[in-house]
Amino acid sequence: MTLEQVRVDSSAPLLSDGTSLSELIDQDFREVSLRVLNDEELYQLELRNIFTRAWTVVAHEDEIPSPGDYVLRWVGEDEVIVSRSDEGEVTVALNVCAHRAAKVCRFEVGQARQFQCPYHGWTFKPDGTFLGAPIGRESMHGLLRPKSELGLRKGRTEVYLGMVFVTFDETAPTLREYLGPMTYYWDMMFGRTESGMTVVGHPQRFTIKSNWKSAAEQFAGDIFHTLSLHRSMQELQLLSSDGPQQEPAMAGVSASYQGHFVRCFDLSEGHYVNALKGKDLANLAPMERLRLMPPPGMEPGMVDQLESRFDAGQLRILAEYTPQVGQLFPNVAGLAMPFQFPDGSVSAFFTWRTWVPKGPDTFELFHWTVVERSASQEFRDTVNLMTSATFGASGFVESDDTDTWPMQTHAARGALGREQKLRYQAVLGETKPDDWPGPGQVYAGFPKDDSQWNFWLRYVDFMSGRPW
């Protein structure tokens, strides 16, 4: 079963009032109509053209460690069952009965070898395979279709860095192809040890009265806003003890690929974390620097593993420009940042998150805290504490953003407001340093609008029905 391929030219009418994609996303002036943040018709197109087709994250594999374990999650507004089969495979199936559309599973988390629909009792394996209908001799599933066509709709799943990705588009490229060169950087954030990272339980979930794209376009590269919106990070001296007058770290390198994004922060900036202060960094080899200050979320004893997992270029980036924040199009973001407690002791916050749409003016934020599997309990606790203090439902950094995004969505409801534009005119073009070892489109220096604009270009690809 393939998805209906709805293709439109960017200049052809997309919405019922005749508005085209190229009017909504004006590529000449790099302006986006504010209407995109609160429009029911556009939202319905996004559910079909983006969320059923793009690879997105629904769970971490450790949430369902044993055969029969399952969790309920969302792909767009479609509820799915994410489960572990007897063979150990992770499967994803639509939680909509193939008979007459009741939910076959009604619990958020559990253990089941089969699901029986509460309505007429049809039974399915967790991976969606149809097993049978009650009173078999009556053939209540009918004879027009073979049983093989009466299962729950199945997604394609792949696991990367422990996260379960799914797409419902059979024509989609593999996840590795979809992510392309971004895995070079994301491996450095979340794939640094042999044992990998695990989650601290199931994700926190909370509802934000904002269109999902406010979060997505920000996590596609808006580092600039930390200067003002997240000023309290500096005032609380969570990066270093230089005092509230210090400038937040703006130097670094961004990499972008087909709407995906990562930011690598320049650790040579003098005010960055206490551990690097006063050290003769220029004369230290990458591994020496990494032993001096392990990548965020790693204990000193883990650092030697890095040499066997990464090439020389990656080790240099880890030591000098650690990747700390990024997003995978359309709605999967990650943070892996070094922070310190007020007493100067080093910690980090670590999270994967997704922006799950719940209407044109609402999304649900799924927030997983992740830690190295091989970390000591004490170290895990500090990362968990720091992550909870900064991000998630109780995070003071998160609350800056989740206070701001609804303002944009609210503005888009006004008759005048919806005619306003989101502007992305601070674009420099690629500025890849000659000695930068990493792939992708590379933008060095002060973070400009380039990678965020790339997000909107990818949005156009999907919305016009031509993502691949």
Which residues form the interface with ligand FES (CB under 6 A)? 97, 99-102, 117, 119-122
217 sits near Fe ion (criterion: CB under 5 A): no
- Among the residues of 191-324, which ranges form H helices? 212-219, 231-235, 286-292, 306-309, 312-320
**Residue 117: which of Fe ion, ligand FES, none does it interact with, CB under 5 to 8 A by kind?**
ligand FES
Cβ density class 158-183: b for 16+ within 10 Å, e for less: bebbbbbbbbbbeebeebeebbebbb
Least Cα distance to 127 among 148, 155, 99 occurs for: 155
Which range touches Fe ion (CB under 5 A), out of 18-26, 64-72, 331-339, 393-401?
393-401
Whole-number minimum distance, CB 118 to ligand FES, in Å? 7
Give how far Cα 310 sits from Cα of 61, 78, 194, 318, Å.
24, 38, 12, 9
Nearer to ligand FES, 143 or 282 (CB): 143
Least Cα distance to 96 among 112, 71, 117, 120 occurs for: 117
Whole-number minimum distance, CB 366 to Fe ion, in Å? 17
461 CB neighbour count, 10 Å cutoff? 17
Which range touches Fe ion (CB under 5 A), out of 130-138, 236-244, 313-321, 397-405?
397-405
- The Cβ-side half-sphere exposure at 327, using a 13 Å CA radius, reads 23
The helix/strand count (H/E) of the chain reads as 12, 22
Nearer to ligand FES, 100 or 231 (CB): 100
Report which residue's Cβ sits closest to Fe ion.
401
Nearer to ligand FES, 131 or 385 (CB): 131
46 sits near Fe ion (criterion: CB under 5 A): no
Torsion of CA 375, 376, 380, 382, to 10 degrees: -120
Q: Give the tokens for residue 235.
A: 């005032």
361 sits near Fe ion (criterion: CB under 5 A): no
Question: β-strand 204-208 against 441-444: which pairing, if any?
Answer: unpaired
Which range touches Fe ion (CB under 5 A), out of 124-132, 396-404, 427-435, 459-467?
396-404
Out of 63, 401, 449, 450, the residue judged to bind Fe ion by CB under 5 A: 401
Nearer to ligand FES, 121 or 300 (CB): 121
Whole-number minimum distance, CB 89 to ligand FES, in Å? 25
Residue whose structure tokens are 């949005």? 459
**Residue 401: which of ligand FES, Fe ion, none does it interact with, CB under 5 to 8 A by kind?**
Fe ion
330 prior amide bond cis, ω within 30: yes
**Residue 145: which of Fe ion, ligand FES, none does it interact with, CB under 5 to 8 A by kind?**
none
**Residue 217: which of Fe ion, ligand FES, none does it interact with, CB under 5 to 8 A by kind?**
none
**Residue 412: which of ligand FES, Fe ion, none does it interact with, CB under 5 to 8 A by kind?**
none
Whole-number minimum distance, CB 134 to ligand FES, in Å? 9
Nearer to Fe ion, 94 or 216 (CB): 216
* Count of residues engaged in binding Fe ion, rule: CB under 5 A: 1
Least Cα distance to 264 among 192, 188, 351 occurs for: 188
Residues that bind Fe ion (CB under 5 A): 401
